Amino acid sequence: MSNLIVLGAQWGDEGKGKIVDLFSEKFDAVARYQGGHNAGHTVFIGSRKFVLKLIPSGILRPGVSAIIGNGVVVDPAALLEEIHALEAAGVDVRSQLKISNRAHVIFPFHRTIEKISEGRENRIPIGTTSRGIGPCYEDKIARRGIRIADLVDNDFPKLYCALAEDKQLIANAFDIAEPGDFKEILEQYQRFAEEIRPLACDTASLLNGMIREGKSILFEGAQGTMLDIDFGTYPFVTSSSAAAGGACTGTGVPPTKIDGIVGVSKAYITRVGAGAFPSEDTTEVGEKIRRAGNEFGSVTGRPRRCGWFDVPLLRYTAEVNGFDSLIITKLDVLDELEEIPVCVAYEVDGKVVTQMPASARRMEAIRPVYERLPGWKTKTQGIAQISKLPPAAQTYLKFLEERTGVEIGSVSNGPERNETMIVPGSKLEKLLQ
């Protein structure tokens, strides 16, 4: 069995949670490597719906270890709320979950700072999830953050007071009255620490030890490559490394131990929040997709912007991640369409561009070039083999495969675990053996 990274090939919400839950049966551990409770990974098990935010989707498989890696930012209140909700649903969280002692801690003032920054006059808001993710990563990079190891240490009050003073100074300098009661937060976090202490450990050492014993790890990406801090549509991105490289820096597992990288992509594309979106469809057809795909954010409930499969974008994310295989989800959402546009090229300022523009201005200026493929106008949900899909659906998938240059190793045609087809003989099938 191999160590596999599964991550989003678009702007998030590609169906990673469903895929990771399905694959986790074959792995010993599932590890999250970045992001925080800005993620919303939906898993259906029969009629039961779980939306996992911070805890890896592997938690739903008894006996599978769920690891929150050092690259993740942890809001203790959100973490404990999620643990308690899963426990109420009968999941044995505490025997499966481990949290890196090097992961950074989100405090309420991170959310306050984000709110002020997003609401500031003359700023184009990013449309964040308002979870304090960005400001927490800012503190991490500025080398003043507080980590889980600090939270559970006797020194926590001292470290916390230093950070809180820092925030108070900024608040005073900018005449901001908002920051809350720092002392109350300290006491609350000391209570959280008691519950978190038994779960905290050196997860890099744990994961590498498992690998030495021949066990296999599934790395679960959050967000998507186009939201990656380096490779996404900056500045309209999240503050972490969602791309494949983040799996190593975010867990401490070296690149030499990674056996495969799998991208998850919808058969179309969505985006939540602001930023360039070349193949967005703002007509009633886009609205139809939103309804058919139930495209509303799992975390914030915001309507997701909908558009067409974007080949240049996928080629770009395949390149920076090195996808071995691609999983196409939500094929069934396109079932009723007469024809399906696919964005096959970008034009900027009248010229075809072959590289993803780096500047926000050029990203916004992209004119998508479309080819239109016939729809299949047949229900695909319930079909269990790719060869049984309507011919037009098979042609559509072949088209995506040829144009992106990445094998399609699996197709998902419904939210349930069993509504997933693996292509026989594919690289993906081999990676899962």
Residue 6, burial from CB neighbour count under 10 angstroms (0-12, 13-18, 19+): buried
Options 10-18, 161-169, 176-184, 240-248: segment touching Mg ion (CB under 5 A) = 10-18
Residues 266-305 touching ligand GDP, rule: CB under 6 A, are: 298
**Residue 332 contact among ligand IMO, Mg ion, ligand GDP, none, beta carbon within 5 to 8 Å by kind:** ligand GDP
Options 66-74, 216-224, 310-318, 336-344: segment touching ligand IMO (CB under 6 A) = 216-224
Task: Assess 126 for contact with ligand IMO (CB under 6 A).
Answer: yes
* CB neighbour list of residue 319: distance below 8 Å, 6 or more residues apart: none
- Kindly tell me which of 70 and 225 has the beta carbon lying closer to ligand IMO: 225
Q: Is 259 a catalytic residue?
A: no
- Kindly tell me which of 13 and 220 has the beta carbon lying closer to Mg ion: 13
Task: Assess 222 for contact with ligand IMO (CB under 6 A).
Answer: yes
Number of other CB atoms surrounding residue 424 within 10 Å: 9
Among 127, 157, 357, 390, which residue sits at the site for ligand IMO (rule: CB under 6 A)? 127
Options 26-34, 54-62, 174-182, 220-228: segment touching ligand IMO (CB under 6 A) = 220-228
Q: Which residue has the tokens 């308690």?
A: 84
Residues 308-367 touching ligand GDP, rule: CB under 6 A, are: 329-330, 332-333
Site string for Mg ion, 273-312 (x = CB under 5 A): -------------------------x--------------
What six digits make up the tokens of 56?
């890896």
Task: Assess 13 for contact with Mg ion (CB under 5 A).
Answer: yes
- Kindly tell me which of 96 and 298 has the beta carbon lying closer to ligand GDP: 298
Site string for ligand IMO, 286-315 (x = CB under 6 A): ------------x-----------------
- DSSP for 167-218 reads HHHHHHHTT------HHHHHHHHHHHHHHHGGGEE-HHHHHHHHHHTT--EE
Task: Assess 112 for contact with ligand IMO (CB under 6 A).
Answer: no
Task: Assess 15 for contact with ligand GDP (CB under 6 A).
Answer: yes
Task: Assess 40 for contact with ligand IMO (CB under 6 A).
Answer: yes
Whether the Cβ atoms of residue 292 and residue 336 lie closer than 8 Å to each other: yes
Shortest Å, Cβ 180 to ligand IMO? 20
Element (H or E) spanning 8, and its range?
strand 4-8
Task: Assess 238 for contact with ligand IMO (CB under 6 A).
Answer: yes
Options 85-93, 236-244, 317-325, 407-415: segment touching ligand GDP (CB under 6 A) = 407-415
Rg (CA), the chain: 22
> Which residue out of 37, 41, 104, 110 is catalytically annotated?
41
Terminal alpha carbon distance of the chain: 6
- DSSP for 406-419 reads S-EEEEE-SSBTTS
Residues 412-431 touching ligand GDP, rule: CB under 6 A, are: 412-415
Cα–Cα distance between 353 and 210 in angstroms, integer? 45
Shortest Å, Cβ 240 to ligand IMO? 8
Residue 2 to residues 46, 255, 258, Cα–Cα distance (Å):
28, 13, 8
- Kindly tell me which of 65 and 298 has the beta carbon lying closer to Mg ion: 298
Shortest Å, Cβ 339 to Mg ion? 28
Cα–Cα distance between 128 and 126 in angstroms, integer? 6
User: Chain-centre distance of CA 81, in angstroms?
Assistant: 20
Q: How would you write 246-290 as a 3-class SS string?
A: HHHHCCCCCHHHCCEEEEEEECCEEECCCCCCCCECCCHHHHHHH
What six digits make up the tokens of 109?
């003032």
Q: Which residue has the tokens 């990563």?
A: 137
Among 40, 56, 246, 312, which residue sits at the site for Mg ion (rule: CB under 5 A)? 40
Q: Is 104 a catalytic residue?
A: no
Question: What is the number of alpha carbons within 13 Å of residue 92 lying toward its C-beta?
Answer: 7
Query: Where do runs of H (alpha helix) occur along 340-418?
Result: 360-364, 391-404
* Catalytic residue IDs: 13, 41
Which residues are at the interface with ligand GDP (CB under 6 A)? 8, 12-18, 40-42, 44, 298, 329-330, 332-333, 412-415
Which residues are at the interface with ligand IMO (CB under 6 A)? 8, 12-13, 38-41, 126-129, 131, 133-134, 222-224, 227, 238-239, 272-273, 298
